[in-house]
Amino acid sequence: MPHTSRGRWAAGIATAAAIAAAGAIIAVETGRRDGTHGRASTPSTSRSAAAPAAPTAFRLPIALQVQANPYSAVPAAAVVSLSTLGIKVSQSRFAAKMHMTRQGEYDGEDFYGAVNRYLHDTPYQVNNVGGPDSEPDFVMREVAYDVGVLQRAPMLSVWGERLPWHKGTERGRKVDHMVVAVGYDRSKGTVTVFDPWPDTGGVRTLPVATLARTLQIGGLYFIYQRSWSWETTTPTASPRLSPGGGPR
């Protein structure tokens, strides 16, 4: 999220560095800037009925890292997600692979393609669904499968100002941001996400209904195994976006 002050950003980085020095699982890494979602399938896209059932609750024990600067939420989220698939890449390297400009702009298709190129030699691939009309049950089902069955961390493109912990801290509307789902609890109706923003982010748990309302169109990047049977839908067009949110 680019809407911040230098003082708040410096304080957030200092806090994250202190946590890392104390031996926690958060680390600061240099990188570049960010953007938003890739191509979107309609919210009806889902796993086949043959998919294994997810446990009632699960939390991934994974290493996390905050974004390197006010514009690098997407590379940071991608790095965390890819790490759960056994792939190591830096924020700066991923930003280059998705052709992110020095001004923090990129094409959603380039982001989508970059993620799947890193997954080329694995049995996995990502697709993206969701949007304003996503039902909470749908979001929970997809997150629970990725986290609880595959034990991988899906990415979610969100509007930053809609996240409860950013309320009142962002100027304007549709502030582009990305988080990573790292846990869920179906009995409580909650999802745990990692927000790479170092100031007010971190590991946060929120109702799945609240999370569903934060999603951008095509904002839920679910992970699947290519050998499985899937329903198919026609992807919607992906606009080119700038770090503040709206299409160029």
DSSP assignment string, 113-126: HHHHHHTTTSSEEE
Residue 106 binned pLDDT confidence (cut-offs 50, 70, 90) = confident
Check residues 130 and 113 and name the one with the higher pLDDT: 113
Terminal Cα distance for the chain, rounded: 17
CB 155, CB 77: distance < 8 Å: yes
Find tokens 């170092």 and name the residue: 198
Residue 2 binned pLDDT confidence (cut-offs 50, 70, 90) = low
Task: Residue 238: name the closest of 230, 228, 248, 229 by CA.
Answer: 248
pLDDT at 12 over 90: no
pLDDT at 209 over 70: yes
Return the pLDDT at 236.
36
Across 60-69, 99-108, 132-141, 223-232, least confident range: 223-232
Task: Residue 151: name the closest of 75, 46, 63, 58 by CA.
Answer: 58
pLDDT at 23 over 70: no
Instruction: List Cα–Cα distances, 25 to 21, 63, 80, 173, 202, in angstroms.
Output: 10, 5, 11, 32, 11
Q: Which of 21-25, 40-44, 102-106 has the highest mean pLDDT?
A: 102-106
How far is it, in rounded angstroms, from Cα 94 to Cα 171?
Answer: 28
Query: Which pLDDT tens digit goes with each residue over 130-175?
Result: 666 678 999 999 999 999 999 999 999 999 999 999 987 766 678 8
Return the pLDDT at 200.
87
Q: Which fold has domain 6-239?
A: Cathepsin B; Chain A (3.90.70)
Query: What's the whole-number mean pLDDT along residues 87-94?
Result: 95
pLDDT at 42 over 70: no
Query: What's the whole-number mean pLDDT along residues 23-41?
Result: 35
Residues 6+ apart with CB under 8 A from 117: 97
Return the pLDDT at 233.
38
Every domain of the chain and the residues it spans: 6-239
- pTM recorded for the entire structure: 0.75
How far is it, in rounded angstroms, from Cα 45 to Cα 27?
Answer: 35
Query: Residues of the chain with pLDDT > 90: what percent?
Result: 50
pLDDT at 34 over 80: no
In the chain, at which residue ranges do the beta strands (DSSP E only) sit? 26-28, 57-59, 64-66, 106-107, 124-129, 155-159, 176-185, 190-195, 202-207, 215-225, 240-241
Check residues 244 and 53 and name the one with the higher pLDDT: 53
pLDDT at 18 over 70: no
